[in-house]
Structure 1
Amino acid sequence: MVVDKKAVVTYIRVLKEDLAIFRLVPTTEPVPDYHAGQFLTVGLPVPSENNKIIRRGYSIASHPENKKYFELVVRWVKKPVPGRLTTQLFDTKVGYEINWLKPTGIALSINEKLPNGEKDNKRIVCIGGGTGIAPFVSFARHLHDVGDKREIVVLHGASYVDELSYHDLFTELEDESKEKGADKWNFKYRAAISRPQEPLNRSWGGHVGRVESFLKPNEDDKSKLEAIVGEKINPTNTTFYICGWQGTVDGCMDYLIPNKFVTKDNRREDGSYDIKYESYG
C-alpha cells in the first residue's frame, strides 16, 4: 500500500505560462537522503476524478546536501490533452499541501568508480533538453558542494530563451570556475536555442540549433563541444549523461555511437560504458 508523505509548496517561480520552478518543504518528516539524478514522485487530488490522487515522477533539481526543500522544474502538459497532474500542480499556490514519495531512480546516478575499482576522473558532460536539465542542476550543485575536481560541462537546449530555466545559476558556476581556477572547480556551461528566428529570441547571441548539435563535427572534424573543452572527446576521457525527450537522446546517440561510445545498457565485457540516459516520451 502506498503511503503518501506530505509537503507544502513554499515557492513558485513562473518562467512562462507552461514552465515553472516549485519548491516543496516536507511537513511529516525531513528531506531524506538521496542521490543527485534521482526523481521525486508527487501527487495531488484531481477534483474531476472524485479527488483521486494522481502521481507523477519529476527529476529533482535541488541537491542532496540541501535538506531544506525539494526543487522541481515542471512543464505544464497541455497537448494533445491537458496533463492531469501538471494541470493541478499549476493551479497550486504557495501554502498548498502536496503528496510525495521518497526519491528513487538509478538511471542518472553519478559514477564515482570505474569497473576496475579506480576513482572515475573522466570528464562529465551533461546534455539536457528542456526540463531534462533538472537532474544536471542537481549534479552541478552537488559536485560543487562536495568539492569534486572533475571537469563538468552542462549543455542545455531549449526552443526559447525564457526556457533556459537555470541560465543564471550555471553562468555563476562557470564564472566561479574562471575566478578560482579549474584545479579548484572545473565547470563550463553552454546553451542552445533551436528557434532563433522567433521574436522572443531576438536577443540570443549564443549557439543556435538543437542541443545535440554541440556534438556535430565541423569542417575541421572538431565539434563545438571539443572546442569548448580544448581536446578530442573519446570514451577514455568523457562520460555522457543525457536527459530529455527521446528525440534528444536519439540525436545524441547518432553522434556518439559511431565514435565508439557505448551505453550502460550495452556495456562492454569489462563492465565499462560511457553513456547514461533517461528519456520521457
Structure 2
Amino acid sequence: MGDKHRVHFEPVDLEMEVDEDETVLDAAFRQGISLMHGCREGQCSACKSFLLDGDVQMARYSTFALADYESEEGYVLLCKTHAYSDITVELINYDEEELHDAVPIQTVRTSIAAITPLTGDIVSLKLKLGEGERFVHKAGQYSEIRLPDSDVKRSFSMATTPSSAEETGEIEFIIKKYPGGHFSGLLDSSLAPGDPLLLTGPYGSCTLRASGEEDRRRVVCIAGGAGMAPILALVRRLAETGTERPVVFYYGARTAEDLFYLPEIISLGLKIKDFRFVPALSHVTEAEWETLGVTGDFGLITDVVDRLEPDLTDTDCYLCGPPPMVDAAIALLESKDVPTDRIHFDKFTTSVSES
C-alpha cells in the first residue's frame, strides 16, 4: 500500500481517503461513495471531473474520453487518477442523493447454472451463488465476471432484480457472442454448467431513482441487442414494485429471429398500470410481424423513438445497447430537450466489442 491522502469533492462538500496505489474512483467504491462512472477504463468520460488543487497522475486513457486540451486545462478521469497529495476535485456529473447510496463492491464465488441460447448470437448466462454467498446490487447495474486463476475478466449487465437474486440465489446475464471475444467466445467452447466463476461488482449508475417528482415522470427505456439485460432488470423491478409510473420500452433488432423474451415482457407489462412495448426491426416484412403476436415498428430504434415521441421533456430515459445506438439515442434525447441528469446509461468496454 502507498501513502494515504484526502480527497475533497466540490460542490458537495464531501471528503474521503485515497491510497496512492488505488484510483480515486476505486477509493470511492471502497468507501460506499457513488461517483458517476461507466467503463472504469478511461474510455467513456462519465467520471470526468476538474482538479482544483493537488498533485495527481493519470494512468493511460483514451483521448476520446479526455482530449489533450482538457487535460491541460485541469480535467481528469477519476477512474485513472492517482493522488500523490491531498486533492480537491470539482465533480461535473453527480447525483447528490445517490452519492451516499452506493452498494459496496463485492467479490463472490459462483458457478454456471445454465447457458441458454436466446438468438443466433445472444445467450442467457445464469450464475449460481456459492454456498453462503450474497450479492447485493441495484436493478440496472453491471458486474465483472472472471475465470478463477485467470486475468480474463469482462463486464456485463445483469438482467436480475435484487429480490430475485435473493430468492433464487441466481444472477442472469444476457451476453452477445462475438467472434474472438475473450469471454463470450468461451460460451461456445470451454465453459459449461458447474464451472466456477468469480463475480465482482456491482458497478454502474443506470439505476432507478425513486423520490420526489421522479415518482411521477414517465419512464422511457431504449435498448438494442444484449442491451436488453439492464433494461429488462429495470422493467422486472418496476413490475415487482407495482409502479404507477407510465413505462414504455423500445427495443431495436434486425430481424424477427433477433427478438427474445417476448412472452415475459408482455407478462411484465400486465403488472404495470401503463406499459407499452415497442419492438422495432430494421430488416422485416409485415408478414413476419403478423407471426410474432406483438405489434412492432420498422426501422432503426432511434428513428422509431424520434417518430413516436414528440415530447420527452417530462421523462426519465434509460439506454443500453451497442455504442453507436447509445450515442445516437443520447443525441436524439438531447435534441428533444431531455435534461442530461435524466438520461441514464452505462458504457463499458471489453475485448473485441463485448457488452
Q: Which TM-score applies when normalising by structure 2?
A: 0.61
Structure 1 gap segments, 5+ residues each? 46-50, 178-183, 217-222, 227-231, 264-272
Task: Give yes or no for contact 1:242–1:276 (8 Å, CA) kept in 2.
Answer: yes
TM-fit CA distance, 1:57: 1.0
Distance (Å, rounded) in 2 between the aligned partners of 1:33 and 1:278: 19
CA RMSD of aligned residues (A): 2.7
SS at match of 2:161: coil
TM-fit CA distance, 1:172: 1.8
TM-fit CA distance, 1:233: 2.2
Letter in 2 for 1:206: G
Letter in 2 for 1:96: D
Task: Give yes or no for contact 1:75–1:131 (8 Å, CA) kept in 2.
Answer: yes
2:108 aligned with 1:5, yes or no?
Answer: yes
TM-fit CA distance, 1:4: 5.0
1:275 aligned partner: 343
Distance change in 2, residues 1:119/1:257 (3 Å): closer
Which of 312, 336, 339 in structure 2 is aligned with 1:234? 312
Task: Give yes or no for contact 1:31–1:70 (8 Å, CA) kept in 2.
Answer: no
Distance change in 2, residues 1:57/1:29 (3 Å): farther
Which of 116, 121, 127 in structure 2 is aligned with 1:18? 121
Letter in 1 for 2:196: E
Task: Give yes or no for contact 1:7–1:98 (8 Å, CA) kept in 2.
Answer: yes
Q: Pick the structure with greater CA Rg.
A: 2
Structure 2 gap segments, 5+ residues each? 2-104
Distance change in 2, residues 1:208/1:3 (3 Å): closer
Which of 143, 156, 159 in structure 2 is aligned with 1:40? 143
2:266 aligned with 1:171, yes or no?
Answer: yes
Per-residue CA shift, 1:129-172, capped at 9, x if unaligned? 11111101110111111222111111111122232232221122
Distance change in 2, residues 1:16/1:259 (3 Å): closer
Aligned ranges for residues 82-161 of structure 1 at < 5 Å?
Answer: 82-91=180-189, 92-106=191-205, 108-113=206-211, 117-161=212-256
Task: Give yes or no for contact 1:44–1:85 (8 Å, CA) kept in 2.
Answer: no
SS at match of 2:215: coil
Distance change in 2, residues 1:28/1:161 (3 Å): same
Letter in 2 for 1:53: D
1:267 aligned partner: none
Which of 135, 160, 176 in structure 2 is aligned with 1:62? 160
SS at match of 1:172: helix
Task: Give yes or no for contact 2:117–2:124 (8 Å, CA) kept in 1.
Answer: yes
SS at match of 1:239: strand
2:306 aligned with 1:252, yes or no?
Answer: no
SS at match of 1:16: coil
TM-fit CA distance, 1:75: 0.8
Per-residue CA shift, 1:81-102, capped at 9, x if unaligned? x011111233322222222113
Aligned length: 239
SS at match of 2:151: strand
Distance (Å, rounded) in 2 between the aligned partners of 1:213 and 1:233: 14
2:151 aligned with 1:53, yes or no?
Answer: yes
2:172 aligned partner: 71
Distance (Å, rounded) in 2 between the aligned partners of 1:256 and 1:104: 24
Distance (Å, rounded) in 2 between the aligned partners of 1:212 and 1:29: 44
Distance (Å, rounded) in 1 between the aligned partners of 2:251 and 2:112: 27
